[in-house]
Structure 1
């Protein structure tokens, strides 16, 4: 096959991303001279004199002393090149620079001890009667659903060719319009949702008034659950720990499970239910509260039972 024919074939296949004619001609000439590989020939280059065992150890000690130290600072201290320090960090030591993970609150030693004790106690209860535990379990939490919550940067990712223009995304904040939903659910699905009226605030009496409604919903939707004894889990928000609400839980006959302080990763609503809901409706613009409520209801109603039980 001639060079021109190969070039036309590559153009037809690759379009605008195809290599130029000069490159095709160069490789045709190379292959005619007996070359059999497309890989670059090995080059001697300038030998590295900075990536030594001594410098590797020095860089490692500096990083272990201060993990936020920059490559530029290490260069200034050790008087070796930027590329050598980068090679030592990545190739020799296997380091990579990452951002700190955001957590809601730094736990004290007492918080950690309490978290461990409560988690072990709840786990033992689950292991003792795993089937009954899931049948008895009910949890709740509240969440804000905005009229418009912009999609995340990851959600906006799309494929592009190298020659295509860069994709732009404008920074947009969630709208002020929102609906506060208090969601009560178990391993079979949603039991009861209350949408807080505009102008009302979250208080102990507000939640205390919801508990009898939740009890009626359990009685209607989960036959036998009340006689087994409801295991009720909520977080430690002030409104949830008020005496009036705790009294309402006792009057309903619910057994209140302990929840470790500042531990959203142990609250099923926080780590499973609400993130899935927000992910589904993020990027959609709602004109009013009724549209938001309809979207929330549709999302929960469209889920199979295993969605609420699997995690």
Structure 2
């Protein structure tokens, strides 16, 4: 292959020579190696000797020149620090307007001249007061004790459930398109978009009960009892022998779950209720596990009617292997340990 001056320039020869100088090769070897590969366009011996002297002096042959333009802005660190201390929620744009520099410069100054980093705030469901935290700790201790007993039977004697909304049109955030094709658009989910309420109960054996609330109906105590609790109770009555009816049921503190009618129905059923503390979705398996799996699988699914949605939800839920559910129940115990060890605060996986 013929190499011309247009294909390799002066700077690249300096890089090659510097590499060989770092390998302690002699001027003659460097000259012959380069001449053999690049021919007459390679540097002469006198040039290599000159570059060796430069290398011995500067320890490099390749220097990045300073780009022309205005000098780098420095020294604002203390002033930026003071503003951030006064208002840690201040935006980069506001800081840029305050110091009359662009956001890129302010971001660099924060990184290089201050001890601050900009992080996203962690979402919590509720601002817990001392009473809430004490209640969460007390309930967590009781729940852990009971759930540990269920672990011996792979959690087959505990059934937990909750409600969630499922949209008929579930837009994905990303999609593959051929190069050159117009990108698709993703509309924002609106309150008025068609959706259905699903109630799901599951145990360590798998999904036990799925209920979809029809259009134009509202979930209340009567529907919850008649269409969910009573059928679930009958199902367990048929499945279990008289000696194997120590079944506990768990759900959160939604009004339909805590109403007097629901509590009366529970007291007459096969179930013993496991109490749940207020404002605590972080220790509800439906919230920290099941519904996340379900809605991740539904991304990109656009249903024409509620029957298609019900079939898809049922299929996705029934494909969850019992071993995954049992792992979620063990994570439930792990989260309860966190609540107890951290004075009732919300679970934070980065600190545990």
Q: TM-score, normalised by structure 2?
A: 0.67
2:186 — aligned with what?
A: 170
1:29 — aligned with what?
A: 9
Alpha-carbon displacement from aligned partner over 1:148-192 (angstroms, at most 9, x marks no partner): 1212x3xx165999xx78945332436733332211111111112
2:152 — aligned with what?
A: 131
Supply the distance in 1 between the matched residues of 2:248 and 2:62 (Cα, whole angstroms).
67
**Structure 1 residue 234, shift from structure 2 partner:** 0.6
1:213 — aligned with what?
A: 231
**Equivalent residues of 1:218, 1:225 under 8 A apart:** no
Tell me the number of residue pairs that the alignment of Structure 1 and Structure 2 aligns: 282
**Structure 1 residue 202, shift from structure 2 partner:** 1.0
Matched, 1:287 2:315: no
Supply the distance in 2 between the matched residues of 1:300 and 1:265 (Cα, whole angstroms).
21
Alpha-carbon displacement from aligned partner over 1:28-73 (angstroms, at most 9, x marks no partner): 022674332799733356876734xxx5444334323311224465
Q: 1:40 to 1:146 in 2, by over 3 A?
A: farther
Residues 1-311 of structure 1: matches in 2 within 5 Å? 1-3=1-3, 25=6, 28-30=8-10, 33-36=13-16, 41-43=63-65, 50-51=74-75, 56-71=77-92, 73-74=94-95, 85-93=106-114, 95-127=116-148, 130-132=151-153, 134-151=155-172, 153=173, 156=174, 167=183, 169-173=185-189, 176-209=193-226, 210-221=228-239, 223=240, 227-311=244-328
Structure 2 unaligned residues grouped into runs of 5+: 20-60, 329-352
**Matched residue SS, 1:138:** strand
RMSD of the TM alignment (CA)? Answer: 3.5
1:14 — aligned with what?
A: none
2:48 — aligned with what?
A: none
**Structure 1 residue 198, shift from structure 2 partner:** 2.9
**Structure 1 residue 136, shift from structure 2 partner:** 1.8
**Structure 1 residue 104, shift from structure 2 partner:** 3.6
**Matched residue SS, 1:287:** coil
Supply the distance in 2 between the matched residues of 1:295 and 1:268 (Cα, whole angstroms).
21
Computing the radius of gyration from Cα coordinates, the structure with the larger value is: 2
**Equivalent residues of 1:192, 1:217 under 8 A apart:** no
**Matched residue SS, 1:240:** helix
**Equivalent residues of 2:168, 2:302 under 8 A apart:** yes
Structure 1 unaligned residues grouped into runs of 5+: 5-23
Q: TM-score, normalised by structure 1?
A: 0.75
Q: 1:205 to 1:73 in 2, by over 3 A?
A: closer
Q: 1:112 to 1:189 in 2, by over 3 A?
A: same
1:19 — aligned with what?
A: none
**Structure 1 residue 298, shift from structure 2 partner:** 1.4
